[in-house]
Amino acid sequence: MDKKVIGLNLEHYDKALCGSIVGAASLFLPYAAKDGTSLSLAKTALSLPGEGKLTFFVCVVWVLVLTGVLSAICAIYSRFRTGVGSVKLCRNLQAINTLSFTLMLFVSKYVLTESGLLSGFLNRNLSFGYYLGLIASYFTLIRFMKTTKTDRGYILLTILGVIWLFPVLWILLTALRKEQGYYVGYFFPHALTFQNFVELFSHPSVLPFGRWWLNTVIVAVSACVVNTLIVLGTAYVLSRTRFAGRKPFMNILMIIGMFPGFMSLIAVYNILKGLGLNQSLMALIVVGAAGAAMGYHVTKGFFDTFPKALDEAAIIDGANRFQIFLHVILPLSKSIIVYTVLGTFLGAWSYYIFPSMLFGDKQSSYTAAVGLFWLTDMRRIETYYTQFAAGAVVVAVPIVILFIWLQQFYVDGLSGSVKG
């Protein structure tokens, strides 16, 4: 096309036009074929009943046919009367058309078998007319987006977003589901309720979830404070001071860190028993703090980027090393502190192996992770699945809150908090 219109990239227009015409034509080609009967999308749309429980799915078919035809007409019209508005209209029509074409993959079976048009339909019975239409619709949409200078990334992000949120949505819906049970044969619950959340907290003798939740908060908060202090202290000393044995110490830490951690859990358990700490929350905090120093790497790397002049200036002003740590380094390290705190906090909520070994059957000191996992045991999962999902949501709440609250410190990112 030789025309020029500001805001449009018309070199892709002709291809888009061809695509939309092919798409419209494919509506009249065989869409589904089984045992000798074949149906085109247009014919299906016309022969579907207008009311009944099918409504939503029938609408998809109607919208598909309608937008397919309209998009082609609009494209032909814009070929002669080209303008930003009309091409954008084409694009939007085509987007709806593409969406409904994609949806047909999921609703065809339901629509065709429920309306009695084709019994025993499976997606492998879809005919070439459908696939031609599907490919043409995506092709056309991409060309229209190129014409209107819209980023094609939206298509991809939409598809990926749906896939990524699918399990999250499932957890949420299960948590709100009124019908109990593990396996149900549908995605959307028949009835919604908050009862699952109430149940979690209302039977402390059978299912002490409140206690578990509180235990985890205690462990997570103390771990945050203690571990973060230890990590910061270790990283500071290893990064900003020089002393005999510094390098060997770092090497030893690295070597220790390369052994799989739970190899030695049995021994840790026995040592804790010897110290009289077993089956208590204290043990969890102590063991966590004992190993915290091994996570010094990122923080040390961060401290390494501070200029030496910073310390030297403070020393001239008469500050000792401890004061430098407290008054110079820490105020500059907000983002790394946030990073450490978040990591520790998240870790405390999802730490499972060691606590489960430590607490054994002492339910009152379970953390939320151990408790929730206990609920998914073969014997309990059928009864407690919805509560388990509700518990998962409750566990996610403090993490999300911390995430949002800490985000304000995190904006600067990890790079370059000291300039020059």
Partner 1 sequence: MKNPLERKRNFITIFTKGGLPSKLSYLIMGLMHLVSGQVIKGCLFLAVEIAYIAYMVTSGIDRIRNLITLGDNVQGMVFNEAVGIYEVQQGDNSMLILLFGVVTLVISLAFIAMWLVSIFSGEDARSRKAAGKHVRTFAEDIRSLLNDKVHLAFLAIPVAGLSIFTLTPLIYMILMAFTNYDSEHQPPGNLFDWVGLENFRTLLSTSDRLSATFWPVLGWTFIWGIFATFSCYFGGMFLAIVINSKGIKYKKFWRTIFVTIMAIPSFISLKVVGTMLGERGIINVLLQQWGFTDHALPFLTNTDWARVTVIIVNFWIGVPVTMLMVSGILMNIPGELYESAKIDGASPFKMFTKITFPYMWFITTPYVISNLIGNFNNFNAIYFLTGGAPNSLDYFKGAGKTDLLVTWLYKLTKDSNDYNLAASIGIIIFVISATFTLITFQRSKAVKNEEGFQ
For residue 25, state whether it binds partner 1 (rule: CB under 8 A): no
Can you state the angle between helices 334-350 and 297-304, rounded to 10 degrees? 180
| Cβ 193 vs Cβ 387: under 8 Å | no
Q: How far is the CB of 150 from partner 1 (least distance, A)?
A: 7
Q: Which of residues 205-234 bind partner 1 (CB under 8 A)?
A: 230, 233-234
What minimum distance in Å lies between the beta carbon of 14 and partner 1? 21
Which of 80/259 has CB closer to partner 1? Answer: 259
**CA atoms of 228 and 242, how far apart (whole Å):** 22
Of residues 249-308, those binding partner 1 (CB under 8 A): 249, 253-256, 258-260, 262-268, 270-271, 286-287, 289-294, 300-301, 304-308
Residue from 56, 77, 110, 128 touching partner 1 (CB under 8 A): that is 110
Question: Is 413 near partner 1 (CB under 8 A)?
Answer: yes
Buried b (16+ CB within 10 A) or exposed e, 389-408: bbbbbbbeebeeebeeebee
Q: C-beta of 267: minimal distance to partner 1 in Å? A: 3
How many residues line the site for partner 1 (CB under 8 A)? 99
Q: Which of residues 164-203 bind partner 1 (CB under 8 A)?
A: 164-165, 167-168, 170-171, 182-187
Kindly tell me which residue out of 46, 159, 160, 192 binds partner 1, with binding defined by CB under 8 A: 160
- Residue 236 binds partner 1, judged by CB under 8 A: yes
Cα–Cα–Cα angle for 378, 380, 381, nearest 5°? 70
Amino acid letter for position 372: L
By CB under 8 A, residue 117 contacts partner 1: no
One of 37, 55, 119, 241 touching partner 1 (CB under 8 A): 241
Instruction: Write the binding mask 321 to 340 for partner 1: x where contact by CB under 8 A, - elsewhere.
Output: xxx-x---------------
The answer to whether residue 237 forms part of the interface with partner 1 (CB under 8 A) is yes
The answer to whether residue 400 forms part of the interface with partner 1 (CB under 8 A) is yes
- Taking the complex as a whole, the smallest distance from the CB of residue 23 to partner 1 amounts, in Å, to 23
Residue closer to partner 1, measured from CB, 72 or 238: 238
- Cα–Cα distance, 350 to 357 (Å, whole number): 14
